């Protein structure tokens, strides 16, 4: 007896139930089953229990738009392919390098069934190729870990640079070579490198300052120093400044160099894990105040270079003390976790959510302006939190008051922006809670209308 072919499942996301039923019927004709979600939050919940090869989503939804949903779901399963649906025949998508390669096609409503079938077939083929490529990735421990390693070499001596690159295995790192610190810093602003290998003596930099400036420009990169000085005290100072290792020129061979780079990377990963723990809230798993301040600093640096705008949102739950008093602190902790989950589902991949302590949360929203209007974003957050929560036998309506501060209008430092957002939050509370308030020095602030009761 032959094996029975099990229909493959796809996820369809649209807030119109009629369209959902039509899609389920259409795909059943070519042996596909469809799970239907009416909003992004339901879609995210479904993808946590099943890895869908294809997600077909409407561009316009009540909570977040289709592109933002693609960003969120791509983090959960990088192999998933996406098809976007739109009723706007003149739709122009904003460019997004994180997800453009995940979108197979954009179909107009109402769809042509043959075109839909052909599109889903292409999406399935792409998913299968990605999955097969992932499962057959090379596992050779001597090679695979370093394949594709992006390495920046900062060395002005051509002989030392050539010797270093010859010692690397041919199938190892992809090396970008520069001879000056300013050129290295310019490259680090444009792209990410896994490892930076640098001499201490360069035409435009000297000594430990080289290490500190590279570390500041690329805090997530492993830094290894090349030096001709066999000085243990100097080596210790180099590590204290943030480098992961110090190599003597001419004292390593190919295997020794590869081993040193791997060990340096692992030391960097260990230090990052410890740093992440120090910057993480233990209850919700979100960033804590320290981690959030770091993210704001990085975002402001980008905004200054690109003349961009950044929003900082300060959020305080209404009536949280009563929840703890009535249902206990364990129920309060579960509620805080739920708030973190709802906030994370609303923001985009490159935004940030933090719990600052107690029932206080904060959000960092980058690239404010254009399609990302801070007032609309804040309304979406307030609405997402207002969904009822089951606490024991009681259905509890969760509300929050939120203040919004925008760089550079409300301040140009992380401290000032947080203070302005906090002040705006208290204005929202005084005006009735369950709303937001945008900080403005002239007091002509924008305030949302609270959603109707029930």
Catalytic residue of the set 194, 318, 359, 367: 359
Sheet of strand 81-86, all strands in order from the earlier edge strand to the far edge: 32-37, 8-13, 54-58, 81-86, 103-108
Of the candidates 372, 382, 434, 450, the one whose C-alpha atom is nearest the C-alpha of residue 406 is 372
Strand runs labelled E in 208-287: 222-227, 245-248
Cα first-last separation, the chain: 57
**Residue 280 per-residue DSSP state:** B
- Beta-bridged to residue 436, according to DSSP, are 402
Integer CA distances (angstroms), 302 to 39, 94, 190, 414, 418, in order: 32, 19, 11, 13, 18
Number of Cβ within a 10 Å radius of residue 66: 25
The rounded distance, in Å, linking the Cα atoms of 234 and 239 is: 9
Nearest 5°: CA angle at 219, between 216 and 222? 115
At 262, which helix (H) or strand (E)?
A: helix 254-278
Tell me if residue 15 is catalytic. Answer: no
Pull the structure tokens for residue 29: 């004709």
CA 265 to chain centre: 22
Q: What is the DSSP letter of 432?
A: T
State the angle between helix axes of 414-430 and 289-306 in degrees (0 to 180), rounded to the nearest 10: 110
State how far the Cα of 30 lies from the Cα of 2, in Å rounded to an integer. Answer: 20
Q: Which helix (H) or strand (E) holds 27?
A: helix 17-28
Do the strands 245-248 and 222-227 form a parallel or antiparallel pair, or are they unpaired? parallel
* Class of residue 424 by CB neighbours under 10 A (exposed 0-12, middle 13-18, buried 19+): buried
Q: Are 85 and 58 in contact (CB under 8 A)?
A: yes
The answer to whether 102 and 70 have CB atoms below 8 angstroms apart is yes
> Please, what is the angle between helix 208-217 and helix 232-240, to 10°?
20
> If we measure between CA atoms, which residue out of 419, 399, 407, 410 comes closest to residue 445?
410
Which residues belong to the active site?
A: 359
């Amino acid at each position: 007896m032959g094996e029975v072919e099990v229909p493959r499942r796809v996820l369809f996301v649209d807030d119109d139930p009629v369209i959902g039923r039509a899609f389920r019927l259409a795909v059943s004709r070519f042996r596909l089953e469809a799970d239907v979600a009416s909003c992004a939050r339901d879609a995210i919940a479904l993808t946590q229990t099943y890895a869908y090869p294809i997600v077909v989503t409407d561009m316009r939804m009540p909570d977040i738009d289709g592109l933002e949903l693609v960003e969120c779901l791509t983090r959960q399963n990088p192999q998933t392919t996406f098809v976007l649906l739109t009723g706007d025949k003149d739709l122009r998508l904003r460019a997004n390098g994180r997800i453009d390669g995940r979108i197979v096609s954009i179909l107009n409503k109402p769809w042509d069934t043959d075109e839909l079938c052909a599109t889903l077939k292409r999406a399935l083929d792409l998913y299968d190729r990605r999955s097969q490529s992932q499962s057959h990735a090379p596992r050779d421990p001597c090679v695979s870990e370093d394949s594709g390693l992006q390495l920046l070499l900062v060395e002005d001596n051509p002989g030392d640079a050539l010797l270093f690159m010859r010692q690397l295995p041919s199938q190892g790192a992809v090396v970008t070579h520069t001879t000056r610190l300013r050129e290295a810093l310019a490259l680090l602003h444009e792209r990410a490198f896994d490892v930076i290998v640098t001499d201490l003596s360069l035409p435009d930099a000297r000594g430990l300052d080289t290490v500190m400036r590279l570390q500041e420009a690329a805090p997530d990169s492993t830094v290894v120093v090349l030096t001709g000085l066999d000085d243990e005290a100097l080596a210790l100072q180099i590590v204290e400044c943030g480098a992961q290792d110090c190599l003597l020129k001419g004292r390593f061979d190919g295997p020794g160099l590869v081993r040193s780079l791997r060990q340096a990377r692992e030391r960097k990963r260990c230090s990052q894990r410890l740093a992440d723990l120090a910057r993480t809230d233990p209850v919700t798993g979100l960033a804590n105040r320290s981690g959030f301040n770091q993210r704001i600093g990085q975002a402001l640096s980008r905004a200054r270079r690109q003349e961009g705008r950044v929003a900082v949102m300060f959020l305080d739950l209404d009536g949280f003390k009563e929840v703890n008093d009535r249902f206990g602190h364990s129920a309060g902790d579960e509620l805080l976790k739920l708030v973190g989950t709802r906030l994370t589902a609303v923001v985009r991949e490159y935004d940030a959510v933090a719990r600052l302590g107690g029932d206080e949360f904060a959000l960092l929203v980058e690239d404010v302006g254009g399609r990302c209007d801070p007032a609309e974003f804040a309304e979406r957050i307030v609405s997402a939190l207002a969904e009822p929560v089951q606490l024991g036998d009681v259905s509890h309506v969760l509300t929050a008051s939120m203040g919004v501060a925008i760089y550079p209008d409300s301040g140009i430092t992380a401290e000032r922006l947080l203070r302005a957002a906090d002040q705006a939050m208290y204005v929202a509370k005084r005006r009735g809670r369950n709303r937001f308030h945008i900080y403005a020095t002239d007091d002509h602030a924008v305030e949302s209308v609270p959603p109707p009761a029930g």
